[in-house]
Amino acid sequence: MTMPLMQEKLYDALRAGDVPDDKARAAAIEAAEFDSRLNRIDSTLRVHSWMLTFNTALLVAIAGKLFLGH
């Protein structure tokens, strides 16, 4: 797993607010890691949403064939 880059704007804002360099860097890296996790979750949800839509359409088609008899 690659380490996400730190969020530069957050780092710059923290440094402008006189936060020590090591703490500002750690906070910016942690925020980038959190953002990376959210992106992975979002991507997984997109796949699951597609799968649910496909399965629902398939179920409706099968149910239509069974109940309508065509």
Q: Model pTM?
A: 0.60
Q: What angle do CA 43, 47, 53 make, to 5 degrees?
A: 140
pLDDT value at residue 5: 76
Q: What is the CA radius of gyration of the chain?
A: 23
Judged against a pLDDT cut of 60, whether residue 61 lies above it is answered with yes
Residue 6's pLDDT band, with cuts at 50, 70 and 90, is confident
pLDDT value at residue 1: 44
Sign of CA dihedral 31, 37, 40, 44: negative
CB 25 within 8 A of CB 16: no
User: Could you state, in order of their start, the residue ranges of all structural domains in the chain?
Assistant: 8-68
Helices 21-68 and 8-16 pack at an angle, to 10 degrees, of: 140
Q: What mean pLDDT value characterizes the chain?
A: 89
Residue 8's pLDDT band, with cuts at 50, 70 and 90, is confident
